[in-house]
Chains A and B, each alone.
Chain A
């Protein structure tokens, strides 16, 4: 009796998950477990906490409550597919895949199903071209933007020229890690630096060879496209060989607390690029503390607030909710569809005033997306780690990438994709 009931529950659960609600459904493909959990936990906390704040404070967006549908992927592509298939029937407004692998899966599928995909500064770089990738958005920028801005920053530090300098790129030997290579190569032709590429195989627990080589060649800068345990090991090894940490710059996914904390004092001075301000010094965060955490509604244990990952979760949540708001205003109804959401994403505007209005003044750069450009605002700044205070601080202004170099690369790669998959690029006036 008991067993059969259990089996019935299981069968029912297999066939259909919980019924669709009339809320605004936002899937969250989180990874709070698995090898990359240290990066995934603060993000998931930030995303859910901000959504809870809106629900608690304003009753959602435009009178509709937001329903965050969590699905655990453990950063695994297969589980990501399962999550997508399970959630796509529930009127999801937008998918935030949270993994390069899952993004690549979802780009064709979600485009066919008519659900926007927001790969926030990861995924397929050339998807920033809205002419080819109608349903994919990359706000706030691409890896190629990041590479270009990092070179720009290095150039500023060197007094305007990188002629004859050496830059080493330590990268995760995967699709993600290989992203910046082409951009950095193009830029090296333009600026006259030499580029050394050092691949680190997954998972990256052992990097002695790479760092011995860096020690021998003494590059002026080391850039890092690392992920997971590779980051903390690389930072530790850099400290070990006494590489000047202020010349060691990571991409935005190599610059969170989880990456620097294991190296302790050695990580002091390490830099990474980012697109938002670090820390928890914002009015909205005060509200999250009082309205969400103090009421026991925190998504995690409440200790991650203000971490880099957490702020990224908040950033993603802001983009989603602002797009929902824009869609509601454009369509005049509160219960919007995924297609409305896509249109809103494409015309999304968040001004500096708006950032202040939602309680996050100067949290990130104002942005204005367009039909052709799905990656606004393409701006980033460099942050630096202070190991004794355990805080990140911005040490540069927000920069823009070198469109001259990045633009043609994106055009080339997106057109190759269009040709391979028989897509006719649309025209954007």
Chain B
């Protein structure tokens, strides 16, 4: 009843090829957009924005980036944290060197710079595969973080190497710096998430995306049918790094406001983003959102539940947080190895057939 194809007749190829072919799905999508852009900004509190929504949105972008590389093109990368650092430092340098430049373009340009760096570090992927490549990308991770720590030019020769985002605004509303209204920062990130998700959806179902997937499924076979592995792999690295760079720029300028490379862009971030896409589901845009939501919101939820809700001591609560998140990851994998996105897909299939399951 809810989720029906019946009666939904397509009269053109454009209609037939649309992203959400089912009317209910389409409406759901519009509702999500309205909620995200019209309702949440009105009601969002500082706490919700700063500790839940903004990190969630930023990591959605990072997860999308890594999903392009790992989920669609099959190249496992553990350099996400390093590439986020590139985005962050690029945005810092651009913000301080060109104070008039609008922050929107600063973020985009940071993504572009990261894309170039990412393509460079993607070169070994032509030789190295699988877990070997994953470990090889760690070289990028450690080297980039070390570089930003060591070369004073990157942090404008300040005494300690901490970078702080100066205040910048879009249409007169601050989005970085200390006086940011919760809705402003939220909307700024949400716009990026929307644009990038739209871009990703259309990239992945077009020619480029098909090439990526061909390489993922079997690179030698893909090469034989005429997919250029060099161009395909490097383009995946570049596009992926573009996303990750934007995530890094937003992470630094909008979310944290100040950062140092070792802590903010350490190996933990790389793993965190990888967890997101695996839990969410490889090769799925919905999976990026689901995974990011799980990894960002779960700890906050658990903490609030255990510490504020039940009054447990903070230490025991934190330890349990680890235990529970770990157990949940394993449980999810046992129940559904292909991630939350697969659960979602199964649910949709069930809905389609409901109430007649056979």
Please give the residue numbers on chain A whose beta carbons come within 8 Å of chain B beta carbons, in ascending order.
9-10, 12-18, 30, 32-33, 70-72, 74, 76-78, 81-82, 85-86, 88-89, 100-101, 104-105, 107-109, 111-113, 124-126, 173-176, 178-179, 182, 201-202, 409, 413, 416-417, 420-422
Contact = CB atoms under 8 A, between A and B. Distances in A.
Q: Which of B47, B50, B266, B307 has the most CB of A within 10 A?
A: B47
Contacts of A126: 159
B257 A109 contact: yes
Contacts of B167: 421-422
B308 A13 contact: yes
B273 to A, nearest CB: 13
Contacts of A13: 301, 304-305, 308-309
A33 B315 contact: yes
3 nearest CB pairs, A to B: A112-B178, A13-B304, A108-B178
B202 interface: no
Contacts of A202: 262, 266
B266 to A, nearest CB: 7
B317 interface: yes
Contacts of B178: 108-109, 111-113
Contacts of B305: 9-10, 13
B137 to A, nearest CB: 18
Interface in B272-307: 300-301, 303-305, 307
Interface residues of B, number: 46
Contacts of A71: 314
Contacts of A421: 164, 166-167, 177
B29 interface: no
A74 B318 contact: yes
20 contacts: A9-B305, A10-B301, A10-B309, A12-B309, A13-B308, A16-B47, A30-B314, A32-B315, A32-B318, A72-B303, A77-B256, A78-B256, A88-B46, A101-B259, A104-B162, A104-B258, A108-B258, A125-B159, A178-B159, A413-B159
Interface of B: 45-48, 50-52, 55, 96, 146, 149, 156, 158-162, 164, 166-167, 177-179, 255-260, 262-264, 266, 300-301, 303-305, 307-309, 314-315, 317-319
B96 to A, nearest CB: 7
A420 B167 CA distance: 9
Q: Which of A74, A100, A105, A416 has the most CB of B within 10 A?
A: A105
B150 to A, nearest CB: 8
A101 B309 contact: no
Given A10-B309, A30-B314, A104-B162, A174 B300 contact: no
A179 B45 CA distance: 36
B162 A124 contact: yes
B306 to A, nearest CB: 9
A17 B96 contact: no
B301 A14 contact: yes
Q: Which of B96, B146, B304 has the most CB of A within 10 A?
A: B304
A346 B134 CA distance: 52
A85 B47 CA distance: 5
Given A72-B314, A174-B262, 4 more contacts: A72-B315, A113-B178, A124-B160, A421-B166
A102 to B, nearest CB: 10
Nearest to B299: A79
Nearest to B43: A15
A105 B159 contact: no
B262 A173 contact: yes
A78 B160 contact: no
Given A32-B314, A86-B47, A182-B159, A108 B164 contact: yes
B24 to A, nearest CB: 24
Contact of A70 (B45, B301, B314): B314
Contact of B300 (A14, A70, A107, A111): A14
A108 B309 contact: no
Contact of A81 (B50, B162, B314): B50
